[in-house]
Amino acid sequence: MSAPTLDAVPLRRRERVDPLLLLPVGAAGALFATWWSLSAGKSDISAAVDLAVAWAFVAAACLALSKVTFRSSGILMTAVAASWFVTDLQLSTVSVLWTVGFVFGELYLAFLVQLVVGFPEGRPWSPVARIVVASTYVATVGLSFVRALFYPSAHNLLLVRASEQRADTIDQISAVFGAAIAIAFAVLVLARLLRLRGVGRRVAMPMLVGALLATPVTLVRLVAVIQGNDGLSDRLEAVDRFATIFIPLGFIVGLGWSRLRRVHASTLVVELRDGGAGTMRDRLSRALGDPSLEIHFYVEHSGGYVDSAGHPVELANIERAGRAVTHVVAQGSPAAMLVHDPALLDEPDLVASVRETAGLFLENERLAAEIRAQLAEVQASRARIVAAADEERRRLERDLHDGAQQHLVGLSLKLALAQIGADPAAADAFANAQGDLERALAELREFARGVHPSVLREEGLDAGVEALVRRTPIPVEIVGSAGERLPDAVELAAYFLVSESLANIVKHARATHATVSVSRAYDGLVVVITDDGVGGANAGWGTGLSGLSDRLAALEGSLEVVSPPGSGTTLTARIPCAS
């Protein structure tokens, strides 16, 4: 299912049936049900409580049905109001009505639980919430049906075998089940309250708090049923039903509170223009009252969206997260996409003003984001080039090792065998040829190490650095360690940095001592090479240091050169390990 967008919500939606028509119909229906229950012998206090709660749910349902986000919740509120008086059917002398009232009298509780743990979309928040909803339907309808099979009454059409004891036992089981559900329900609501932020918190918090306030009374009444205290249970029943009114009233209060916190278009313009410190996202977030707001910018050359850092945005991830989208247009072309709380779509005029107003301010940021996206593509392209070059180095090193080098080793063995039994003159010629061959083989091995060091591939960076230090003709001290293996690109960049730096120290620095420090930082690898030479080195001189600087930049790393004349040189490289 795609994320809801402003384009999918017309500014003036024409409903087939105006939700406000439910108000007089529902009010009249509740009034008729109250009159009927009074005439059937219900107490005045209980009738007044039921009428007040039913009217509260009808009013809340009218408001919810008029909002796109709360449409499903509005249907559930309507179901609660419609089933609220079903239990009063047990006052009837008509068997069919009595049986319906006995089995479905507490169905409204299941609708209530589904309403609260699925607010506002109407779908339970989690698998645990779905289990709680299903369990409530079983406890309210399923166990009532089973109890009806044994409940002794002349009006009970489902009676199979009259047994008041079994009926009472099933009633207590239902109460135990209901108490467990009430506890799980309270935990779910409390956890939801702690997680909510922004617009969703403003709308949902009063209703969820109302549900929490109503739960303890229900729990106490169920405990009284479990203990067989019918007197206390009967006295608490009216209080329990009245406490339910906190849920629809909480929804009405939350909706009103959210409306009061909404900003108008004029306020939005002032906030965007003179919003003080913070980015455009911060100012727009404050103006809309939605701290979860995200801004993604349209990139013309790719036809997609990127975040503020220039990284591509996957629309599928937005859809899976259940977020809403508002497209911002500037000068007739897409400029940005606002990803926000779906509750904001219930104020289409406000969202429309955001779309029009924010477009005036977001065009420059869109251009900046497009440049950042291009830079990110260049960075990725550079990294791919370096990776391809490294892979080619590996292939060449393997070819040299498995091909030419092995042929030369075999030829050296043949020359050694040829010297055996040869006359002195021929033996001397073979020996000279073998010496030349050994020197060529050594040069080939040295070249292969320069192309791609096998010790680095087989043993890691620490072993590679030690091999370089052993071949350096001046004393070099190794400080620290790279520790566990790093990504190939990071190890190769660090190895070539140490190799090039030591070669420069030997050729140009006239140093008597050098130090190679390798350490792990929280975000990557840090390599520091120092010497006591003449100094005066510059990363811009020659191709060695500048090439290393380019290699590190391709990995989002950096190279710093400090080399005052006469005071030695310090090279500091920082390489992110995630690169």
The three-state DSSP-derived secondary structure of 41-57 is CCCHHHHHHHHHHHHHH
Question: pLDDT per residue over 469-510, tens digit each?
Answer: 888 889 999 998 888 888 877 887 888 888 888 888 888 888
Residues of the chain with pLDDT > 70, as a percent, come to: 66
Give the pLDDT of residue 104: 92
Q: Residue 337 in 3-state DSSP?
A: strand
Q: What is the pLDDT of residue 398?
A: 59
466 exposed, middle or buried (CB, 10 Å; 0-12, 13-18, 19+)? middle
3-state secondary structure of 553: helix
Query: Residue 412 has what pLDDT?
Result: 67
Is 3.30.565.10 the CATH classification of the domain at 459-576?
yes
Q: Does the pLDDT at position 12 exceed 50?
A: no
| Per-residue model confidence as pLDDT tens digits over 140-165 | 999 999 999 998 988 889 988 888 88
> What pTM does this model have?
0.54
Q: Strand, coil or helix: what is 151? A: coil
* Contacts (Cβ under 8 Å, ≥6 apart) of 197: 291, 292
| Rounded (5°) CA angle 49-53-55 | 120
Predicted pLDDT at 135: 92
Omega within 30 of 0 (cis) for the link into 4: no
Residue 563 CB partners (closer than 8 Å, separation 6+): 535, 536, 537, 538, 569, 570
Q: List the 333-340 sheet strands across, edge first.
A: 304-306, 294-299, 333-340, 324-330
| Better-predicted residue by pLDDT, 31 or 400 | 31
Query: Bridge-partner residues for 294, per DSSP?
Result: 339
The stretch 353-380 carries a mean pLDDT of: 60
Per-domain residue ranges for the chain? 18-261, 265-374, 386-451, 459-576
Across the range 529-549, mean pLDDT stands at 71
Q: Is the separation of the CB atoms in 5 and 30 below 8 Å?
A: no
Q: Of the spans 23-37, 142-156, 186-200, 282-296, which averages the highest pLDDT?
A: 142-156
pLDDT tens-digit profile of 202-253?
A: 778 888 888 898 888 888 888 888 887 877 877 888 888 888 899 899 888 8
Q: What is the mean pLDDT of the chain?
A: 76
What is the pLDDT, as a whole number, of residue 292?
77
